[in-house]
Amino acid sequence: MATSPKDREHIAAPSDWQGWQRWVEDVDWSDWRSWLRRVASTDWAAGVPADIPWPRAPETSAVGLTVRAYEEDEPGDRVREQLAATWPAFHRWWREGANTRPTTGQARARLEEHMPELVPTWERLTTMIPGSCDAGAALALWNPPPFLTGCSQAAVVDGGPALIRNYDWDYRLFDGVVAKTAYTGRQVLGMLDCLWGLLDGVNDAGLAVSLTFGGRPEVGDGFGIPLVIRYVLEVCGTVEEAVQVLRRVPVHMSYNVTALDRSGRWATVYVAPDRPPRVTDRAVTTNHQGSVEWAPYATAIRSVERERRLEELLAHGAGVSGIIEACLRQPLYASRFHQGFGTLYTAEYRPADGIARYHWPQCSWEQSLNNIKPDSIQLQLGTP
């Protein structure tokens, strides 16, 4: 990642939660370059990790959020509309982000090498963004700018199997679209991100997959994780097949990917750009890969605390309903919406039934592979 002389002026790492508040004050949450520059300029080695997490955000006005759903087997008018709505902002992020962007030819070569089944769809989508020489490279999501999220997830067998996850992110950067597609012939239902990638989802073979950030700042050559999640759901039907794909497809940052299939088998794979993937039988993952490697970040977003809470619930026999209820309360539920870190949804994926339920404190919304509802839901986040 290239840095300017100003970026290289090191500042002290935060030592308490007030310090973290000051640390993020000048971060432009609509531009992750600002976050990455601050990360790169902070002297983490000299700092003392904060032992007090961010406090609950002061009461402020509610945040309005709309989540939509659509169904379209082949790329057509619905995804064209989605691209038209998201491309301008995504394109700015793509062009102006840290690290170096590939050419379309370079991106295509990597897509053909690692995820060839997606190439026909990628070609069709590229034609839907006319007049931009960056469209093909951006849609391939090879070496995108760095980005960081929160998130918690758990594979739950009691009352399931179900894959349950909280998605913690800045609502201003959230697409808020659930899509059912069949781009490679297999039906896939999930939450869109990065134009046509997925944050999480379920397919008609009985496989559910979701991701969390792995809690490491390293950036390398690889794909943005949303397209990898899309690919796993397009070509895999079991946990074993998903693990094989995750072992071989390179990623540009560290992520934890949990896969759960209709038989109740699960695996969590720690993927990274600078070391081999590690396959685990962990049913729970938050924002570190087994052990904490970036202590200031993990402390700030309460990664260990959230992981322990989920593990305690499962150890005491909590089933699907109990885990969902806990995901809608602190410490699992993040409420700093105006500061760019809030739980935007809790997803419940049922791989045996092809069902996706999205939960918020005030309501739930169900979609399924057999009955997609092409409508929208209006939400007010941050309200009692």
If pLDDT is split at 50, 70 and 90, which confidence band does 56 have? very low
User: Which SS3 state, helix, strand or coil, does residue 314 take?
Assistant: helix
Judged against a pLDDT cut of 70, whether residue 4 lies above it is answered with: no
pLDDT at 35: 54
Per-residue pLDDT of 195-209, as tens digits, reads 999 999 999 999 999
Of the two residues 224 and 40, the one the predictor is more confident about is 224
Please say if the pLDDT value at position 119 is more than 60. yes
For 126-179, how does the pLDDT look when each residue is reduced to its tens digit (9 = 90+)? 999 998 999 999 999 999 998 888 899 999 999 999 999 999 999 999 999 999
* CA–CA dist 129, 136 (Å, integer): 9
Interstrand relation of 284-285 and 335-336 (parallel, antiparallel or unpaired): unpaired
* Contact indicator for 97, 128 with CB cutoff of 8 Å: no
pLDDT (tens digit per residue) in 310-326 = 999 999 999 999 999 99
Q: How confident is the model at residue 12 (pLDDT cuts 50, 70, 90)?
A: low
Residue 328 pLDDT exceeds 80 = yes
Statement: residue 224 has pLDDT above 50: yes
Per-residue confidence (pLDDT) for residue 193, from 0 to 100: 97
Asked if the peptide bond before residue 217 counts as cis, ω within 30 degrees of 0, the response is: no
Model confidence at 39, pLDDT cuts 50, 70, 90, reads: low
Q: Supply the pLDDT for residue 55.
A: 46
In the structure, what pLDDT confidence band is assigned to residue 341 with cuts at 50, 70 and 90? confident
The dihedral of CA 76, 78, 84, 86: what is its sign?
Answer: negative
- Give me the chain's average pLDDT, please: 88
The closest alpha carbon to 339, from 19, 27, 17, belongs to 27
Q: Please give the torsion angle defined by the CA atoms of residues 47, 53, 56 and 61, in that order, rounded to the nearest 10 degrees.
A: 50
- Residues facing residue 380 across a β-bridge: 64
Arithmetic mean of pLDDT, 210-223: 95
pLDDT of residue 374: 78
Contacts of 341 (CB under 8 A, 6+ apart): 54, 150, 168, 169, 170, 301, 334
Measured distance CA(188)–CA(167) in Å, rounded: 19
Q: Which two tokens stand for residue 292?
A: 């904490």
| pLDDT at residue number 340 | 82
Element (H, E) at 279: strand 278-280
Strands 42-43, 11-12: pairing is: parallel
Model confidence band, residue 32 (pLDDT cutoffs 50, 70, 90): very low
What pLDDT, on the 0 to 100 scale, is given for residue 5? 35
Q: What is the largest CA-CA distance in the chain?
A: 56
Residue 45, pLDDT score: 45
Predicted pLDDT at 3: 35
User: Residue 10: pLDDT band by 50, 70, 90 thresholds?
Assistant: low
Angle of the 119-127 helix axis to the 104-114 helix axis, nearest 10: 150
| Residue linked to tokens 């992981």 | 307
pTM of the model: 0.87
Cβ atoms within 10 Å of 66's Cβ, excluding its own: 10
pLDDT level of residue 52 (50, 70, 90 thresholds) = very low
Q: Which long-range contacts (CB under 8 A, 24 or more apart) does 267-273 make?
A: 267/239, 267/242, 267/243, 268/155, 269/242, 269/243, 270/214, 271/214, 271/225, 271/228, 271/246, 272/214, 272/216, 272/218, 273/218, 273/219, 273/220, 273/221, 273/222
In DSSP notation, 54-80 reads PPPPPP-PPEEEEEEEEE-SSS-HHHH
Q: What is the DSSP string of 328-382?
A: TSTTTS-EEGGGTEEEEEEEEEETTTTEEEEEETTEEEEEESS-----EEEEEET
Provide the 8-state DSSP code for 204.
Answer: T
